[in-house]
Amino acid sequence: MQQWLKYFEQNRDHRLPVPWERGLKVEAHLREPLIRSLQKFQIGESGDGRNLRRHAAETGDAVYARTIELFVKEENEHARLMAEILQRLDAPLLTGDWTDNCFKLMRHLFGLREELFVLLLPEMIAKRYFRALRDGTGDPILRAVCEQIVRDEEGHVAFHVEYLRRVFEHLSFSQRIAIQVAWRIAFRATCLVVMFDHRDVLRACGVKPGDFWHGCGRVFDETAAGIFSPANVLAPARLAMEANG
């Protein structure tokens, strides 16, 4: 965890520059779908993480609790960046959304391990979603914001994988399979919701439903292998830092 704390501190202090001074010039066909989509993602990243921070503090690991604090702040920074884009598009921020409410409810029903599993569902999908936005526009501001979020999400997923891998390393093979199957079902259900809810912006970015579906599946397979493979030895903080340059 000390390595992860260092990673989040470095990531906090070294962010990609966003050329706000150039003015946002999103393609006309992308503007309205982008607004509707970003509004939903923005509210999902804007929570205070109170329940997660409480669970982390209850572990008795002060370094892990501090790292979770930095993780939550990084999520809030994503919300701030998306709010900046929406403001420049003259679009209001949402005060509530049914998908965000569902995730909050599920995360609050269980303990730390279960909350992390629920938290990882949108985090994994966000890796594919923000790559689609980055590659689907020529606007330098939107591309820079999406690139930063993609880099951060790589680190977020790897961070939670490292913790969960240690939690479940003593499970039997059958227990690992059962948990992974249930989690895959929940993930695919979440994918369907996201694909339906954000279909217009994905189409505007030129992403076919099948490509998005399979891309999200590859992210899930990599993440699940990191958690449940008993032979898997990761150095995720190092890998994430290398990915971030």
Given a contact cutoff of 8 angstroms between Cβ atoms, the answer to whether 22 and 41 are in contact is no
- Which of 85, 107, 74 shows the shortest CA–CA distance to 31? 85
Going from N- to C-terminal start, the domains of the chain cover: 2-243
* 24/45 Cα distance (integer angstroms): 22
* CA geometry: angle 87, 89, 90, nearest 5 deg: 65
Reported as a single tens digit per residue, the pLDDT across 50-108 is 899 999 999 999 999 999 999 999 999 999 999 999 999 999 998 877 777 777 777 77
Domain 2-243 has CATH 1.10.620.20: yes
pLDDT by residue for the chain (245 residues), tens only, comes to: 899 999 999 999 999 999 999 999 999 999 999 999 999 999 888 877 889 999 999 999 999 999 999 999 999 999 999 999 999 999 999 887 777 777 777 777 778 999 999 999 999 999 999 999 999 999 999 999 999 999 999 999 999 999 999 988 888 889 999 999 999 999 999 999 999 999 999 999 999 999 999 999 999 999 999 998 865 444 444 445 554 54
* Type of residue numbered 179: I
In this structure, what is the dihedral angle of CA atoms 214, 220, 222, 228, given to the nearest 10 degrees? -140
Query: Does the pTM of the predicted model rise above 0.85?
Result: yes
